[in-house]
Structure 1
Amino acid sequence: MKRQIVLLAASILTISTFAQTWKPAGDRIMTSWAEKVDPQQPLPDYPRPQLVRNTWLNLNGQWQYAVVPATEQNIPAAYAGKILVPFAIESALSGVAKTVGKDSALWYQRTITVPATFKNKRVLLHFGAVDWLCDVYINGKKVGTHQGGYDPFDIDITSALSKSGSQQLAVRVWDPSDEGPQPRGKQVNKPNGIWYTPVTGIWQTVWLEAVPQAYISSIKQTPDIDKSVIRVSAQVENAGPGDQVLIAAYKGTEKIAEQTTTPGAEIALSIPNAALWSPNHPFLYDLKVSLVQKNKKTDDISSYFAMRKISVGTDNNGIQRMLLNNEFVFQYGPLDQGWWPDGLYTAPTDEALKYDIEQTKAMGFNMIRKHVKVEPARWYNYCDKLGMLVWQDMPSGDLGNRWESRPGVYGRASDKDRTAESETIYRNEWRAIMDKLYNFPCIVVWVPFNEGWGQFKTKDIVQVTQQQDPSRLVNSASGGNFERVGHIMDLHNYPEPLMPDPALFGAKQVLVLGEFGGLGLPVEGHTWQQKNNWGYQTFKNNEELLKRYEEFVNRIPALIKSGLSAAVYTQTTDVEVETNGLMTYDRKVVKMPTSRLYEMHSKLYENSSVAMKK
């Protein structure tokens, strides 16, 4: 007994010492949530709210890491130290804060113990996101490879697991940042201006999941408010003859619809007197899906859905308008980069992840444009719950388009001639991102290109996007290579608010202001660096900033009357040397009074009544 007590005490001491060895690296500013990061269990929350099972194990925490020459392919014999997963190695919260680059590869390693409750089940290893090229090994055996820095993926590792004892998990990552053709958003090897620190490796939750031999691998749900139905299908891995899928919808605890179908087949559940989802009423229904084999439920997942519709209609002046649930709702929101001074791509805690959305809502915005980045599934889940419309950008990459000046379209970028490899990388990842985010009702617009950044074959990409998801609108080129394809014509203008010419575009496409503003205010003690910070227009104090911002907002109602359907203000927070955020990068200072912003923005919706053709 004494020996057991001593061993337990030693174990506790080891864990405690292990935790104490971790601390944020570097001397940059931090958010207040950095102090709340638990190195034993960072970001412990369930990572996939649209397909929930209770048999899972979070693998976040301290792993071993090594940076080796990219030419070396073998699992390292020794490691350099500890890294806190899931924070990218360049971030402070990783505890490392080192740059990797295209000439090196980043290796991770840790020991895992498969829970006894996983016995006789298939074991899936999930990665929320790894940037960029990832090879995964279990017990020295390569079990899978994935390309793409923004889409979640899983690998069935069952056959590679030892029958008992601990298992060795190793991950190799190679990421060329801006020296490769892959989507990488705002990452560059030499950060400056609007371009930020590289992000390499694991940056979202890693987790294990136990599933039956045949299991529900995905679901797809599409609301149709005009017919008062939700269309649902469920894919089943390893389905057998006679297998069925039972799908039920709930309003609170009340079951309101149920049907049985076959794997992969779509059914339409009737939703009587549907409660429509909107920013003012973000109502969500629950969904239960079961796999039934020989009259027995062998797999169960839970999800949710919303009854909402995004579409286009014509007003009495012949102008195309963006409609929500068949009514014109002016959409106004910030450009949201989704960067953190301590975690870079990764919010330090789940509370922090939610905070930006809560603040945006409190400021009176009803929309967020998620800019050249994809967030963890929990971020979209919070937008669903809080009632926030989302425009989702495709992360840009392979830049280098030539800009031209053309009358009436405010400049134009030429379509880039990408290599076959570059095209394939883009298409595969865009398809995967749309597929993984499809079920989140908050997303109402897809944005495949921004400002001509690597834009190519615009008409083709827009057509592919619309074919994959005809239930949403497509903003073909936000501020970029203007084409009369897709649903939206999107102008960028700094700093003043303007709009596309209704005479040129209004009868064909919805008119939006995809970016404007960028009003900068560096706040001493809350900047990424002490000097040489940057904004599109810089002010000396909060009063000057508020006055200028209010001037801009007061111009928008006239633009709405002329045909504007939406506007995006740059931006939610400062990011690195950019100081044009509504909040500082560390989120500790809101630069203009939240209540005043809410009052200003509320008037935009109150004064946006538009007569529509019936």
Structure 2
Amino acid sequence: MAYPRPQLQRSNWLCLNGPWKFSFDDAGDYRQPSDIATWTHIIEVPFAPESIQSGIYDTGFHPNCWYEREFELPSIDGQDVPTAVASTGKRVLLHFGAVDYCARVWVNGQFVAEHEGGHTPFSADITAVLNPDGKQRVTVWAEDDPFDLAKPRGKQDWQLHPHSIWYPRTSGIWQTVWVEQVPATYIDSIRWTPHFERWEIGFEAFVTGQQQENVQIKVKLTAGKQLLVNDTYEVLNGEIHRRIALSDPGIDDYRNELLWSPEKPTLIQAEVQLWQNNQLLDQVQSYTAMRTVSIHRDRFMLNGQPYYLRLVLDQGYWPESLMTPPSGEALQRDVELVKQMGFNGVRKHQKVEDPRFLYWADVLGLLVWEEMPSAYRFTPKAVERMMKEWAEVIKRDASHPCIVVWVPFNESWGVPDLTATPAHRNYVQALYHLTKALDSTRPVVGNDGWESTATDILAIHDYDNNPVQLINRYGPEVKLSDLFDRQRPGGRVLTLDGYPHQGQPIMLTEFGGIAYGKPDDHSIWGYVRSAEVSELQTRYTALLTAVNQIELFSGFCYTQLTDTFQEANGLLYADRTPKFPLEAIRAATMGWSTSQPTVLTTVHLEGASNSIHTQLHCGNQCH
């Protein structure tokens, strides 16, 4: 298995995925490991107990679950762990990628960590509680109230069975667990921030452990065989903050060789070492990229140039493993499929994705809008939880070049009274400004869909599946004043009173939702339904041809990538099989005709829910 944290990798680690002992505790009788008399199940970590792949597949309401496994810690430099710790001061860290929702952790019966937040990582230094013989035992209590709507839960349903657009719950451990050995003083975290305008890369590093003087960090940056940087910086008060200036070639042709984009995802490999008095203390492997994103008037900019976004909504679920990918290869395959379908990005919807997905997006070149999973109630506790976990999300992922937009809210979920309640508006504005404070280098969409109060991109959700009506609503004849005063997709105003559109880019960030299923299958949900695959292809082609022509838009996001449980409006089935050929999907996504990209296309859907008969041009005028 690949190291689970792609941008801060060490070689000396041990994966703890695999079989663990497991028990539900519905009554909440257990408070510590010694309370558990027997273990009732074996679970395959990191798959949630609600999933088939976990080996348990229990989708009922279970507010508490317990895990335990034993593992043998390898020796350190040929010595048993206690001896090595005493002689070298080395440490052993236990890491969790994500546990939903509250986690408490014991090692060898000793309490070592507690964390709240179902989508972000946490760690514990377990050195002091290790057994001398090398055999260790880790126990985890995961508490996840299935009815609590005031916690960030995303698409996890609060009803027993998935309904409408909500899916099965994910409880407990759902990302990788691992241990690693680190020196007495080690690199705890790093952050990369490219500055395209100045041809610099911002670098921050935080060092922890024993406080030692005369400690330096060496940074070596390479692009292919080209050495870009080999610098040394003094560590002061456990951290450094530097802007690393690269040699600017001046000529665009040479500059472009180093820029990262979906068309040419050039990564800069980084080796970061910690030294003291000519002795190597710690080293990690990382990477970054030279790229910048910004807003200029009504356009989204990538590397200083207008860039049209063709995104697809990605829920990030699998039928047998839920939010956890069935394998690392599955994440790579998703990125490859999105690109083959003609999209240059995804809007990860209501999910903070596994870092390995972001790694493949970085490597293969895919833009990502990262969105915070919603809570569905507005309470002081919900506000506190959201702000804390969202800050952790940004900290975890800010160095990934693929991430180009942050989205703290979706469709006023958790803030249902934005039009009437000042506190709800203040909450959205607060998270918008908090996001900008934590990362000033990326645009922020305050509330994706409608009822905007603070945003860098005006994002519209409109599931009208009639291409003619979309062109009439957003085409060249429409006045912006009419758009914001009169049009109400989803029955919602696009901007709230007192917060007019100020020239930001306008994007159609949810549309389509065309479901395909057999006529007698009434379990399928979608915004509009096609009875045959050919009808789905015709509808998609007509819709994308129209949207690609609307010059008002700086981009779009189609709903959605895959079928997800009862929501069968994917371009792919849940197993990632295309519903119609990938080359036809790509042609439609790009606004091309599969045979003659520049000729008049006639669209006529017979027997559809809404009959459409129109003529749409594509070709040179398409974005």
Quickly name the TM-score band, shorter chain normalised: 0.7 to 0.9
Contact 2:525 2:567 in 1 (8 A): yes
Distance in 1 separating the partners of 2:374 and 2:127: 36
Query: Is 1:271–2:229 an aligned residue pair?
Result: no
Distance in 1 separating the partners of 2:543 and 2:151: 37
Query: Is 1:74–2:32 an aligned residue pair?
Result: yes
Residue 123 of structure 1 aligns to which amino acid in structure 2?
V
Distance in 2 separating the partners of 1:197 and 1:282: 35
Query: Is 1:467–2:431 an aligned residue pair?
Result: no
| Residue in 2 that maps onto 1:540 | 531
Residue 124 of structure 1 aligns to which amino acid in structure 2?
L
Which stretch shifts more, 178-187 or 75-84?
178-187
| Residue in 1 that maps onto 2:180 | 209
Distance in 2 separating the partners of 1:568 and 1:290: 41
Q: Give the deviation of 1:501 after TM superposition.
A: 6.7
Which stretch shifts more, 499-508 or 66-75?
499-508
Which stretch shifts more, 218-227 or 159-168?
159-168
Contact 1:187 1:195 in 2 (8 A): yes
Contact 2:548 2:622 in 1 (8 A): no
**Matching residue within 444, 453, 465 for 2:413:** 453
How many pairs align? 535
Residue 492 of structure 1 aligns to which amino acid in structure 2?
H
3-state SS, counterpart of residue 198 of structure 2: coil
Query: Is 1:64–2:39 an aligned residue pair?
Result: no
**Matching residue within 302, 308, 311 for 2:285:** 302
| Residue in 1 that maps onto 2:231 | 259
What's the CA shift string for 1:255-304, capped at 9, x where partnerless?
A: 21122223322222223344111110011010111111122111000111
Q: 1:471 to 1:501 in 2, by over 3 A?
A: farther
**Matching residue within 311, 316, 321 for 2:294:** 311
| Residue in 1 that maps onto 2:53 | 93
Distance in 1 separating the partners of 2:622 and 2:273: 45
Residue 151 of structure 1 aligns to which amino acid in structure 2?
T
Q: Give the deviation of 1:523 after TM superposition.
A: 6.3
Aligned pairs for 1:115-126 (under 5 A) are: 115-117=74-76, 119-120=84-85, 121-126=90-95
Which stretch shifts more, 497-506 or 138-147?
497-506
Q: Give the deviation of 1:557 after TM superposition.
A: 3.1
Q: Give the deviation of 1:253 after TM superposition.
A: 3.4
| Residue in 2 that maps onto 1:423 | 383
Q: Give the deviation of 1:506 after TM superposition.
A: 5.8
Contact 1:495 1:519 in 2 (8 A): no
After TM superposition, the score normalised by the length of structure 2 is 0.83
**Matching residue within 580, 595, 603 for 1:592:** 580
3-state SS, counterpart of residue 474 of structure 1: coil
Q: Give the deviation of 1:518 after TM superposition.
A: 0.1
Query: Is 1:284–2:262 an aligned residue pair?
Result: no
| Residue in 1 that maps onto 2:495 | none
Distance in 1 separating the partners of 2:621 and 2:213: 55
Distance in 2 separating the partners of 1:357 and 1:178: 33
What's the CA shift string for 1:199-229, capped at 9, x where partnerless?
A: 0000011000110011001101100111111
Residue 69 of structure 2 aligns to which amino acid in structure 1?
R
Contact 1:258 1:269 in 2 (8 A): no
Q: Give the deviation of 1:162 after TM superposition.
A: 1.3
3-state SS, counterpart of residue 360 of structure 1: helix
3-state SS, counterpart of residue 241 of structure 1: coil
Kindly report the root-mean-square deviation, in angstroms, between the aligned alpha carbons of the 2 structures: 2.0
**Matching residue within 147, 156, 166 for 1:195:** 166
Residue 108 of structure 1 aligns to which amino acid in structure 2?
Y
Q: Give the deviation of 1:609 after TM superposition.
A: 8.3
What's the CA shift string for 1:440-482, capped at 9, x where partnerless?
A: 0000000000001113411111111111100100011101431
Residue 570 of structure 2 aligns to which amino acid in structure 1?
G
3-state SS, counterpart of residue 574 of structure 1: coil
| Residue in 1 that maps onto 2:613 | none
| Residue in 1 that maps onto 2:560 | 571
Contact 2:549 2:621 in 1 (8 A): no
Q: Give the deviation of 1:251 after TM superposition.
A: 1.4
Contact 2:548 2:590 in 1 (8 A): no
**Matching residue within 570, 576, 579 for 1:581:** 570
Q: Give the deviation of 1:495 after TM superposition.
A: 3.4
Q: Give the deviation of 1:175 after TM superposition.
A: 0.4
Distance in 2 separating the partners of 1:327 and 1:74: 57
Q: Give the deviation of 1:511 after TM superposition.
A: 0.7
Q: 1:178 to 1:606 in 2, by over 3 A?
A: farther
Which stretch shifts more, 515-524 or 46-55?
515-524
Contact 1:178 1:187 in 2 (8 A): no
3-state SS, counterpart of residue 116 of structure 1: coil
3-state SS, counterpart of residue 427 of structure 1: helix
| Residue in 1 that maps onto 2:504 | 509
3-state SS, counterpart of residue 266 of structure 1: strand
Distance in 2 separating the partners of 1:571 and 1:178: 27
Which stretch shifts more, 289-298 or 503-512?
503-512
Contact 1:397 1:454 in 2 (8 A): yes
What's the CA shift string for 1:407-466, capped at 9, x where partnerless?
A: xxxxxxxxx4x22x2211111100000100011000000000000111341111111111
| Residue in 1 that maps onto 2:65 | 106
What's the CA shift string for 1:64-90, capped at 9, x where partnerless?
A: 001112243132121002000000000
What's the CA shift string for 1:544-602, capped at 9, x where partnerless?
A: 1111111111112331x2x2111110001011111100111122x31122111222333
Q: 1:50 to 1:495 in 2, by over 3 A?
A: same
Q: 1:506 to 1:60 in 2, by over 3 A?
A: same
Contact 1:306 1:441 in 2 (8 A): yes
Give the gaps of 5 or more residues in structure 2: 250-254, 416-423, 485-499, 593-617
What's the CA shift string for 1:136-190, capped at 9, x where partnerless?
A: 0011111010001111111111111112231111000010134241101010132
Q: Give the deviation of 1:63 after TM superposition.
A: 0.4
Contact 2:47 2:173 in 1 (8 A): yes
Query: Is 1:234–2:234 an aligned residue pair?
Result: no
Q: 1:174 to 1:221 in 2, by over 3 A?
A: same
Distance in 2 separating the partners of 1:340 and 1:52: 27
Distance in 1 separating the partners of 2:202 and 2:169: 40
Distance in 2 separating the partners of 1:46 and 1:85: 16
| Residue in 1 that maps onto 2:598 | none
Which stretch shifts more, 591-600 or 300-309?
591-600
Contact 2:518 2:531 in 1 (8 A): no
Contact 1:289 1:301 in 2 (8 A): yes
| Residue in 2 that maps onto 1:153 | 122
Distance in 2 separating the partners of 1:65 and 1:557: 51
